[in-house]
Amino acid sequence: MNRPAAPATSYEKLRAAIVRGEIAPNSRLVESDVVTSFDMTRAAVRNALIRLEQEGLVVREPHRGARVRQVTDSEAIEILQARAVLEGLAVRLTAERIDKAGAERLRESLARHRALLESGDLLGASDANADLHATLLQLSGHSTAQRLIHGLNSQTVRYQYRTILIAGRPAASQAEHAAIVEAVIAHEPEKAEDAMRRHLFNVADALQRGALTRIDSVSRGVIEAGGG
């Protein structure tokens, strides 16, 4: 019997707010505001900011305090390239270890992603995309890869909502995800690894071409015209 998940700590809630974009890039993290909003002591806030700086989510500047770090396009591209290698390894293991229950989870996740795309809910499809990747990673059982990829993803989560708006990218992403899942369920490790690497390198290439539509990171629904 699975134990219920432990309640999120104040630090985890603060970190999640940054990762989800609820606290926008370059926003100042005023100590007194964080104390009130996240029910933390001042000492806990200071420790949290140190940890978040170490993770690359926050920048602390002398005499200016802390702010949410803005990841550049070039950094996001490099992170996607690093993820391609790590997630390629992970899905290789998933393909070796997949069972019937895991295969059903992947089919359901892939179907949800497809349905959201077909309904025109691009933001929902972006969340489903992240869920599919997370499921593939979890099923690999590779704890170190999970930890490293989680750290990389936390810095580029806001780019998920930009890349899905590239012309032709949603359909391509669906086809690439289907190829990954098919190879995993068929217990074809090399094919699964190659499919994952090609998928993430394709996303990196699309981002590198630039001229991407931006989405307001707070509302997650206000589309702004302009290049990336």
Q: How high does pLDDT run on average in the chain? A: 83
List Cα–Cα distances, 183 to 96, 104, 176, 180, 207, in angstroms.
10, 14, 11, 5, 26
Which residues face 66 on adjacent strands?
Answer: 29, 60
Nearest-angstrom CA–CA distance, 104 and 110: 10
Q: How high is the pLDDT of residue 186?
A: 98
What value does the mean pLDDT take over residues 154-179? 77
Quick check: 191 pLDDT over 90?
Answer: yes
Alpha-carbon Rg for the chain in angstroms: 19
Residue 49 phi, psi (nearest 5): -65, -35
Domains and CATH numbers, the chain: 10-68 (1.10.10.10), 73-224 (1.20.120.530)
List Cα–Cα distances, 4 to 1, 8, 14, 32, 174, in angstroms.
9, 12, 21, 32, 33
Query: If 0-12 CB within 10 Å is exposed, 13-18 middle and 19+ buried, where does residue 148 land?
Result: middle
Closest CA to 173 of 132, 226, 223, 214: 132
List Cα–Cα distances, 152 to 53, 81, 160, in angstroms.
14, 11, 13
Handedness of CA 121, 124, 125, 126 (dihedral sign): positive
Convert the pLDDT of each residue in 85-136 to its tens digit: 999 999 999 999 999 999 999 999 999 999 999 998 887 888 898 899 999 9
Query: For the whole model, what pTM was predicted?
Result: 0.69
How many CA atoms does the CB half-sphere of 190 hold within 13 Å? 0
Higher pLDDT, 6 or 92: 92
Nearest-angstrom CA–CA distance, 118 and 197: 25
Quick check: 193 pLDDT over 80?
Answer: yes
The DSSP element (H or E) to which 42 belongs, if any, is helix 42-54
Nearest-angstrom CA–CA distance, 83 and 88: 8
Nearest-angstrom CA–CA distance, 109 and 96: 19
Nearest-angstrom CA–CA distance, 119 and 100: 29
Q: Is 160 strand, coil or helix? A: helix
Q: How high is the pLDDT of residue 218?
A: 32
Higher pLDDT, 156 or 107: 107
Q: How high is the pLDDT of residue 36?
A: 93
Q: How high is the pLDDT of residue 147?
A: 84
